[in-house]
Amino acid sequence: MDTLKVVNLKARIGTFELGPVDLNVGKKEIVGLIGPSGCGKTLLLRTIAGLQEPVTGQVFIDGKDVTYLEPHLRGLAFVFQDNALFPHFDTHNNIAFPLKIKKDPQTEEKVQKKAAELDGLTDYLDRWPKELPAGMKKLTAIARETVKKFNLILMDEPFERLDKKIRTELRAMIKRLLMAIGESVLIVLNDPEDALAITDRIYVMKEGVFVQSGEPREIYTSPASYFVMELFSTMGINRVGSAVFRPQDVEIDENGSYVTLEHCGPYDSKRILCNGKMEGQEVVLLLPVECREKSDVKIRIKNSFEKV
């Protein structure tokens, strides 16, 4: 049985309409929702959590229909994008809050254990939210939600507004935490690198509906459309004639198309990232390091879409 199952769900906020969408999250599975801002990811999360009433459709958690059940009765942990920490509580009391509400006699023990699970958080238990670094604010919000009993974790863009170093460190930490907790997760993401690093499976969303779903690597290597290709290209895309392709979707081929190289820089130990021109159009290409001394190459495009 799936932990979460969404069937023919539709929701509306203002003039924006979500769905209908179908979605499932298996036991102990980490599933991502990815798409551009405003495509309906957060609205879907809020509807699953019971914070937004659906127009039609059903939401099942552990096989139980919770479509119109109050949020606090759904057995969810919800980590909001803005963390939603209580400014008048220190870190310890923010984490302890849901336990104190239930008068849990093991509150102190559970808070200390949860803080120890999150690298470094123990050192910040006496700090106020305004004194916490960005990464520690996020960990406090995660600790507060996961210290209580739950069946499903909902996370809304946990890596937004973080610089690259903190983002990378937090991403690895959250992945370890989620695997250690062993519960099902539905997480909203904007960055394909986050999706590739964390999730077992993803749903790609555009204008309120899903346009592709599957394992992250599968979607990265075999995008179903130009939209998905562009979304999953961290280095941008090239447009030459009617073809649209990513810098990494090329290979050296003596029978291929001619490209002049204008500037190349290291990408990793085996590849370089080059600016050049192809059929009069500026392109960016990811090429073998052996090409670094060349002024031109011939390439074959392995994967492309027609420009629309």
- The dihedral formed by the CA atoms of 48, 51, 54 and 57, expressed in degrees to the nearest 10: 20
> How far apart are alpha carbons 155 and 190 in whole angstroms?
12
Please say whether the dihedral angle defined by the alpha carbons of residues 126, 131, 132 and 137, taken in this order, is positive or negative.
positive
| Residue 181 token pair | 């907790």
Distant-in-sequence, close-in-space partners of 278: CB < 8 Å, separation ≥ 6: 238, 240, 257, 258, 259, 260, 299
Domains and CATH numbers, the chain: 4-227 (3.40.50.300), 237-306 (2.40.50.140)
> How far apart are alpha carbons 303 and 308 in whole angstroms?
16
Q: According to the model, what pLDDT value does residue 307 have?
A: 63
| pTM, full prediction | 0.83
Q: According to the model, what pLDDT value does residue 162 have?
A: 67
Quick check: 238 and 214 in contact, CB under 8 A?
no
Q: According to the model, what pLDDT value does residue 114 have?
A: 84
pLDDT tens per residue, range 19-76: 899 999 999 899 999 999 889 999 999 999 999 999 999 999 999 999 999 988 888 8
Quick check: 6 and 23 in contact, CB under 8 A?
yes
> How far apart are alpha carbons 112 and 103 in whole angstroms?
17
- Per-residue confidence of the chain (308 residues) as pLDDT tens digits? 789 999 999 999 989 999 899 999 999 899 999 999 889 999 999 999 999 999 999 999 999 999 999 988 888 888 887 778 889 999 999 999 988 888 888 998 888 888 888 777 888 899 999 998 877 888 888 888 888 888 898 998 877 766 677 777 777 777 777 777 777 899 998 888 888 888 999 999 999 999 999 999 899 888 888 899 888 887 888 999 888 899 989 999 999 999 999 999 999 889 999 999 999 899 999 999 999 889 999 999 988 887 65
pLDDT tens per residue, range 74-97: 888 888 877 788 899 999 999 999
Q: According to the model, what pLDDT value does residue 83 have?
A: 78
